[in-house]
Structure 1
Amino acid sequence: MLQPKADWYWYCDGQHLMLSLGQNLQFKTAYLPNRLINTPINKQWFNLEDTGHYSNLAEQLEACPLNLSSAELTQILINGVAALAFHKPVTLRSWYFTEQTHFGSNHQLASLENDIGKGEVLILEQDHNVATCMVISKSLSLHSDKQLNQFELIKVMKNRLIPFVSHSILLSQSA
């Protein structure tokens, strides 16, 4: 996993929010300018708040039993920080998902489920009843002809969140 450096900075290339990682390395986030607020016009340095978000998310993801490569983890972290720093607020869309009797998250990870399927999300922000989540599965179906792609955001009531349990934990508990 990459660690933030002093020469990292955000910018917009006209089509996507980008993060320069120094030494001619660029990271293209999943976010288009029309989904952003406070879009960086020129260089906007990766600041202390961004570094704090990056570290907090990394701590949560490293503590959970996800089998992520270093590159996958870095991709989730950078998109998560970009969403926290620049993404416009999203509207509540809980009705797409099944209400849960036992709900919550495990290391900021949860699943959302409906009649079509299930997908994993990372909780970026939450208050007592609502959570803003970033899809970390390849996609998350809302209904038969609408889905969210990886790294898109959704806001749901917390009673829709299924605490994340990895398959490796389930297998070891059944042995």
Structure 2
Amino acid sequence: MLKPSDNWKWYFDNEVSALVLGLDEDMAFKVEIPQKFLVDCAFKDSEFSVDDASVFQQFKESVSTLPLSEPRQAQLILNCVATNRFHKPVQPKSWFFNHQGGGHAPSQGELVYLKNELNSGLFMVVEVCDNASVCASVELDGFQLTSSKSLSFCQSVKVMHDRIARAEVFDNYAPIALVG
């Protein structure tokens, strides 16, 4: 698994029109946030900060329980760190999701469930606000919002807390070994 380094650098790559995290001289990670959702500072070179490293570690601990390969875990973690630091503030899009009770107030890095009439899925809380949180999809196959619109793996959405349910049971994700 990747470990944050003092050598990591954020920069905007005009050739691919994307925010990139330079991991070393030969390796870079392209962030999956559309350019129109990036804050102004994302277009200037910057260091991978101590705050970035702290958030990275918090997200890493959360995804360690998921049945994702190491490359997929790294993809999710790095996209969530980038979203936390460089995504423009957005309004909640709660109408895509069903009401789930009293409004669970999640914490950053927590795994939560969101559902609608089409499906339910696991998300990671990237940023917590007063009444809503930015959540990133953990579903490899995506999450259907409507019959024609979906969130892909790592894509984020802001949702009111009354749409969020605590993800307490991970039995579906536990590795199983059959012995005989």
Q: CA–CA distance in 1 between the matches of 2:162 and 2:122?
A: 15
- Match in the other structure for 2:68: 68
Q: Which deviates further from its counterpart, 86-95 or 121-130?
A: 121-130
CA shift for structure 1 position 38: 2.6
Q: Which deviates further from its counterpart, 99-108 or 65-74?
A: 99-108
2:123 is equivalent to residue 109 of structure 1: no
**TM-score normalised by length of structure 1:** 0.85
Deviations 1:110-139 (A, max 9, x none): 121111112221101223431111112132
> What one-letter code is carried by the residue in structure 2 that aligns with 1:145?
S
- Match in the other structure for 1:53: 55
Which 4+ runs in 1 deviate beyond 6 A? none
Deviations 1:26-59 (A, max 9, x none): 1111123221003444531101111111111112
Q: Counterpart of 1:83 in 2: which secondary structure?
A: helix
Q: Percent identity?
A: 29
Contact 1:90–1:153 under 8 Å retained in 2: no
Equivalence map 1:114-129=2 (5 Å): 114-129=116-131
Give the unaligned 5+ runs of structure 2: none
- Match in the other structure for 2:10: 10
Aligned residues: 168
- Match in the other structure for 2:145: 142
Q: CA–CA distance in 1 between the matches of 2:130 and 2:34?
A: 30
Q: CA–CA distance in 2 between the matches of 1:123 and 1:11?
A: 24
2:166 is equivalent to residue 163 of structure 1: yes
Q: Counterpart of 1:84 in 2: which secondary structure?
A: helix
- Match in the other structure for 2:92: 92
Contact 2:127–2:135 under 8 Å retained in 1: yes
Q: Counterpart of 1:125 in 2: which secondary structure?
A: strand
Q: Could you say if the C-alpha distance between residues 41 and 93 of structure 1 is closer, same or farther in structure 2, counting changes exceeding 3 Å?
A: closer
Q: CA–CA distance in 2 between the matches of 1:44 and 1:70?
A: 26
- Match in the other structure for 1:20: 22
Q: CA–CA distance in 2 between the matches of 1:125 and 1:86?
A: 12
Q: Which deviates further from its counterpart, 155-164 or 33-42?
A: 33-42
Q: CA–CA distance in 2 between the matches of 1:152 and 1:50?
A: 19
Contact 1:102–1:162 under 8 Å retained in 2: no
Contact 2:67–2:173 under 8 Å retained in 1: no
Q: Counterpart of 1:122 in 2: which secondary structure?
A: strand
